[in-house]
Structure 1
Amino acid sequence: MSKTPLGKIPAAAIHLLDIPRYPKETIEAFLALGDLTGTVSDAMDELGLDGVVPASVLAPTLGERRIAGPALTLRNVEQRDQAYKGARERVSRMAEIEAHNLAETGDVLVIEGVVGISNMGGLSATIAQRQGEVGAVVDGGIRDIEQSRSIGFPLWSRGVSSVTGKWRLETVAVNGTVRICGKQVRPGDLVVADAGAVCFIPAEAVPQVLRRAQEIGEGEARRYADIAAGMPVAELARRTHVYKFDPQ
């Protein structure tokens, strides 16, 4: 697969860097967590990491899906020109195709976009799936969700809008640092998402977050077992079953 820019935006805006990718075992370990974003969010709190956006802000199109993968980032801004001028001249300045061109299997497309305008539609979702991307997170609007749902490609977004971004938005950077709902996301940071939230884990903190999330999950499983076994409420309140936390 070519990594050469397609010329849709200035080459200087495309960062052809080698973003971190994660071993298959790491991705599978996250996806095996019983409560994916719940335990990850708790672990990030304990580690002092601010990177969780609730599903009430970034809503999923396929609520039963959960994903984990490195962030492939893109930034859109509003065009200065009137949308009707672009529509008449058939000139689009959106270029998520540049991100799809850089994608590797397992990546998550993360778009800093514009609310109320579509930053990603059905064609883009279909290309993303073909390129091996496992999902997309959009701080802005999306459209054609019937198409993305029909092919099983999950998206998390600020909402659905049929107002096209083709004539209203401009892609200004690919594979650079973005801000998603106020959270900084760098290329290669690990994205985990499900029906409850989207979590952006800094690449260097992934091992610690995974270890602590597994500990929290094991502790909660033991509490559920105690509840099922009929343990009195007073005793349940005295037991946490969460291992002692050692940030080192």
Structure 2
Amino acid sequence: MEALGGGTVPTARIRPVAVPAPAPGLIERYLALPDIACGAADALDALGLDGVCRPGLRAARPGSRVCGPAVTLRYEPAADPADAVLGDRDLYRLAPRGAVAVIATGGHTRHAVVGDISAACAALAGVSGIVVDGAVRDLDALSGPDVLPVWSLGAVPANARGRLDAAELNGPVHLADVLVRPGDLVVADDNGTVVVPSEAVEDVLARCETAHAHETRLLADLPVRRRRRPEGAPQWA
């Protein structure tokens, strides 16, 4: 882990929270579902829970998908630029393998908190994805095929050093208006981002799998009807 560099966040800002490992096979079963964010959203709705993040979080590489327990970092505007620290490397060091790094800035998009080096450090630490309620930069690199998936509110070239300060690691944060606690399951794809409370992950998965099986049977039973083309109409009509 030395390759991630030295820690910068004071220990008083790091909560001693252990993120429990998901049950064996649970993450793989979530990722086997098509449109996992939609399925998780429907299951949460049936349970009377709301974990759907407001629109705006987009993957740097379209087609990306991720599912994993959250580790969290909360930024605040820097009171003293000289003393402000960034906490992404510390967050990755704390993360269990397969975790999703959730970085909350309160919607700050004027300065980027993740770039290509940060994403590379996350991948080295075994993080499966990053979701930022704020901005990223180095978008060309982040959209490459071999970079771990990153979601954000947008891209901006200015960096956050001296502008934002790591206020807390391993605490509750709000990601696009949704509460995220360490260990909650984060699911994201091109449809959006959904947060499944840790105590509901198995119930939500069971409902997703049941719904997927039902939809598969329904689609198989739908009749396929060819539309009759008027005489002389082009073949693509």
Q: Specify the TM-score bucket, using the shorter chain as the normaliser.
A: 0.7 to 0.9
In structure 2, C-alpha distance between the alignment counterparts of 1:224 and 1:152, rounded to whole Å: 35
Correspondence for 1:8: 8
* Alignment deviations for residues 16-67 of structure 1 (CA, whole Å, 9 cap, x no partner): 321122134100110011221111111111111111125x410111221211
Correspondence for 1:149: 143
In structure 2, the residue corresponding to 1:41 is in which secondary structure? helix
In structure 2, C-alpha distance between the alignment counterparts of 1:177 and 1:187, rounded to whole Å: 7
Residues 116, 159 of structure 1: 8 Å contact kept: no
Q: Answer yes or no: is 1:93 the counterpart of 2:85.
A: yes
In structure 2, C-alpha distance between the alignment counterparts of 1:229 and 1:221, rounded to whole Å: 15
In structure 2, the residue corresponding to 1:218 is in which secondary structure? helix
Compute the displacement of 1:81 (Å).
3.9
Q: Answer yes or no: is 1:69 the counterpart of 2:68.
A: yes
Question: What is the aligned counterpart of 1:133 among 127, 144, 165?
Answer: 127
Residues 135, 154 of structure 1: 8 Å contact kept: yes
Q: Residue type of the partner of 2:75?
A: N
Question: What is the aligned counterpart of 1:161 among 156, 170, 186?
Answer: 156
In structure 2, the residue corresponding to 1:48 is in which secondary structure? coil
In structure 2, C-alpha distance between the alignment counterparts of 1:16 and 1:146, rounded to whole Å: 36
In structure 2, C-alpha distance between the alignment counterparts of 1:228 and 1:181, rounded to whole Å: 41
Unmatched runs of 5 consecutive residues or more in structure 2: 226-237
Compute the displacement of 1:92 (Å).
5.2
Q: Residue type of the partner of 1:25?
A: G
In structure 2, C-alpha distance between the alignment counterparts of 1:188 and 1:92, rounded to whole Å: 27
Query: 158-167 or 17-26: which moved more?
Result: 17-26
* Alignment deviations for residues 138-162 of structure 1 (CA, whole Å, 9 cap, x no partner): 0011111222233321111111111
In structure 1, C-alpha distance between the alignment counterparts of 2:10 and 2:124, rounded to whole Å: 25
Q: Answer yes or no: is 1:220 the counterpart of 2:215.
A: yes
* Alignment deviations for residues 47-103 of structure 1 (CA, whole Å, 9 cap, x no partner): 11111125x410111221211100010001111346xxx5xxxx6511211111112
Q: Answer yes or no: is 1:191 the counterpart of 2:183.
A: no
In structure 1, the residue corresponding to 2:101 is in which secondary structure? strand
In structure 1, C-alpha distance between the alignment counterparts of 2:223 and 2:160, rounded to whole Å: 51
Q: Residue type of the partner of 1:189?
A: D
Compute the displacement of 1:7 (Å).
4.8
In structure 2, C-alpha distance between the alignment counterparts of 1:225 and 1:171, rounded to whole Å: 51
Query: 132-141 or 114-123: which moved more?
Result: 114-123
In structure 1, C-alpha distance between the alignment counterparts of 2:112 and 2:182, rounded to whole Å: 22
Q: Residue type of the partner of 2:136?
A: I
Q: Hey, which of these two has a bigger chunk of helix by percent?
A: 1
Unmatched runs of 5 consecutive residues or more in structure 1: 231-248
In structure 2, the residue corresponding to 1:220 is in which secondary structure? helix
Residues 61, 149 of structure 2: 8 Å contact kept: yes
In structure 1, C-alpha distance between the alignment counterparts of 2:64 and 2:125, rounded to whole Å: 19
Residues 7, 89 of structure 2: 8 Å contact kept: no
Residues 76, 166 of structure 2: 8 Å contact kept: yes
Q: Residue type of the partner of 1:162?
A: P
Compute the displacement of 1:229 (Å).
5.0
TM-score (norm 2): 0.87
Taking every aligned residue pair, what percent have the same amino acid on both sides? 36
Compute the displacement of 1:172 (Å).
0.7
